[in-house]
């Protein structure tokens, strides 16, 4: 069976490899000049720093099979994401933890004291069923921590009031009553030593896979394939005939520095008047390496235009209604499958992306065996 896969990001690569190993002939086409989609990494010629060109990606998972899978194609080095935040002239640790609470309020609480302090003097206990991001934050941490660490940052990231965002966005952010500043709580966390692009190249290195970069999708590809797997934007497949699904995109202002600019990989900026959401210093994503020079990006979010790279699906009421219409069109397509973050219009972490690609490919093979 000859299968065309549109997109050489994680979804496309993992699916291609699994189907090729099952004996299918695979053609992968990618419109960009590189592999790995928004996970693309490459070394800076000037500094030697491994740069995450579309923003940092830290691999974290509790899925043992997915962890073993990526390690079969790349050497992963231990990495812990320790985020800092500059707010009102001071630097704090994120996620909000015991150190953050004590520093912010000028206290020396023990864990049980901090828990009682937040619940009894800060959290809004009149909110029993939070519906919005703001209500969830006020119930979760109270107004002072909300204003400092969540409100301004969220307004910049999403371009709207936190009152208009669902509570679910905040529910995945932890509040810790210990000094653990590891941003993620997953069992397995790390970075591929040679970068994500090298990992994806290894996944696609199979005699049954024919790869074409700099190759936009054309409708004749569907005619040439026994089956088409689409990992691009869902509305893009249908030429946005029902309207464009809403995304937030990112602008990156690159700059270099001799030495260590900020002492950490990620520095958030919670103050609303600071135009960027964060600064990332990329040599700190590979702490096993040593570089004199440094590559940094100021990162700002805005509404995604037609020619911009989509990053975060908005998924508010209007977008969900439009999504349901596109999902109906997709379900009616014969010989086409939609996969991945863009193809299903969801925010997916890398491990979930790989898990869904493996599951899809295995079901595909089983249905045709």
**Residues 218, 334 within the same domain:** yes
- 11/5 Cα distance (integer angstroms): 9
Q: What is the predicted pLDDT for the residue at 317? A: 86
> Within a domain: residue 70?
no
Give, in order, the Cα–Cα distances in Å from 293 to each of 41, 54, 144: 17, 20, 38
- 361/366 Cα distance (integer angstroms): 9
> Within a domain: residue 320?
yes
Residue 175's region, left for phi above 0, alpha for psi from -120 to 50, else beta, is beta
> Within a domain: residue 57?
no
**Residues 102, 147 within the same domain:** yes
Query: In DSSP terms, which residues pair with 78 in a beta bridge?
Result: 190
Positions annotated as catalytic residues are 172, 176, 248, 278, 299, 347, 349
The CATH number that applies at residue 233 is 3.40.50.720
**Residues 234, 345 within the same domain:** yes
Query: pTM for this one?
Result: 0.95
> Within a domain: residue 330?
yes
Residue 344 parent element (H or E): none
Parallel, antiparallel, or unpaired: how do β-strands 50-52 and 83-87 relate? unpaired
Parallel, antiparallel, or unpaired: how do β-strands 25-29 and 209-212 relate? parallel
Q: What is the predicted pLDDT for the residue at 369? A: 78
Residue 136 parent element (H or E): helix 133-140
- Least Cα distance to 5 among 40, 25, 22, 29 occurs for 29
Q: What is the predicted pLDDT for the residue at 173? A: 64
- Least Cα distance to 150 among 96, 197, 82 occurs for 96
- pLDDT 10s per residue in the chain (369 long)? 999 999 999 999 999 999 999 999 999 999 999 999 999 999 999 999 999 999 999 999 999 999 999 999 999 999 999 999 999 999 999 999 999 999 999 999 999 999 999 999 999 999 999 999 999 999 989 999 999 999 999 999 999 999 999 888 876 667 999 999 999 999 999 999 999 999 999 999 999 999 999 999 998 998 899 999 999 999 999 999 999 999 999 999 999 999 999 999 999 999 999 999 999 999 999 999 999 999 999 999 999 999 999 999 998 989 999 999 999 999 999 999 999 999 999 999 999 999 999 999 999 999 987
> Within a domain: residue 56?
no
What number of CA atoms fall less than 13 Å from residue 363's CA on the CB side? 7
> Within a domain: residue 307?
no
**Residues 136, 239 within the same domain:** no
Give, in order, the Cα–Cα distances in Å from 334 to each of 200, 205, 227, 237: 29, 29, 9, 13
- Domains identified in the chain, total number: 2
**Residues 163, 209 within the same domain:** no
Q: What is the predicted pLDDT for the residue at 106? A: 98
- 137/24 Cα distance (integer angstroms): 49
- 261/291 Cα distance (integer angstroms): 12
> Within a domain: residue 102?
yes
> Within a domain: residue 229?
yes
What is the domain extent for residue 151? 83-171
Query: In DSSP terms, which residues pair with 191 in a beta bridge?
Result: 77
């Amino acid at each position: 069976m000859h299968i065309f896969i549109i997109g050489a990001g994680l979804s496309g690569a993992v699916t291609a490899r699994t189907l090729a190993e099952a004996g299918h002939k695979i053609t992968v086409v990618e419109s960009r000049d590189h592999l790995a989609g928004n996970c693309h990494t490459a070394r800076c010629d000037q500094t030697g720093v491994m740069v995450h060109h579309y923003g940092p990606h830290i691999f974290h998972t509790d899925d043992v099979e997915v962890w073993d899978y990526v390690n079969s194609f790349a050497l992963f080095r231990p990495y812990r994401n320790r985020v800092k935040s500059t707010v009102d002239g001071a630097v704090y640790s994120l996620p909000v933890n015991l150190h953050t609470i004590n520093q912010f309020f000028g206290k020396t609480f023990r864990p049980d004291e901090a828990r009682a302090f937040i619940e009894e003097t800060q959290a809004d206990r009149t909110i029993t069923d939070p519906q919005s991001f703001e209500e969830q934050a006020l119930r979760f941490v109270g107004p002072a921590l909300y204003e400092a660490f969540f409100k301004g940052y969220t307004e910049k990231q999403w371009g709207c009031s936190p009152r208009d965002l669902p509570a679910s966005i905040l529910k995945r952010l932890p509040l810790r009553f210990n000094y653990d500043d590891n941003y993620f709580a997953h069992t397995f966390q790390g970075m591929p030593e040679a970068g994500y692009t090298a990992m994806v190249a290894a996944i696609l290195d199979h005699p049954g896979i024919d790869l074409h970069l700099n190759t936009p999708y054309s409708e004749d590809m569907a005619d040439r394939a026994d089956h088409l797997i689409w990992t691009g934007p869902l509305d893009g497949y249908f030429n946005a005939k029902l309207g464009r699904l809403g995304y937030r995109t990112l602008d990156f202002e690159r700059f270099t520095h001799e030495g260590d600019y900020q002492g950490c990989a990620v520095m958030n900026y919670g103050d609303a008047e600071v135009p960027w959401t964060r600064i990332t210093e990329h040599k700190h994503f590979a702490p096993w390496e040593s570089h004199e020079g440094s590559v940094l990006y100021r990162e700002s979010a805005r509404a995604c235009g037609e020619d911009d790279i989509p990053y975060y699906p908005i998924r508010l009421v209007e977008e969900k209604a439009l999504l349901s219409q596109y999902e109906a069109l997709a379900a009616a397509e014969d010989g086409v499958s939609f996969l991945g973050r863009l193809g299903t219009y969801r925010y997916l972490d890398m491990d979930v992306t790989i898990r869904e690609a493996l599951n899809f490919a295995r079901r595909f093979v089983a249905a045709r065996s």
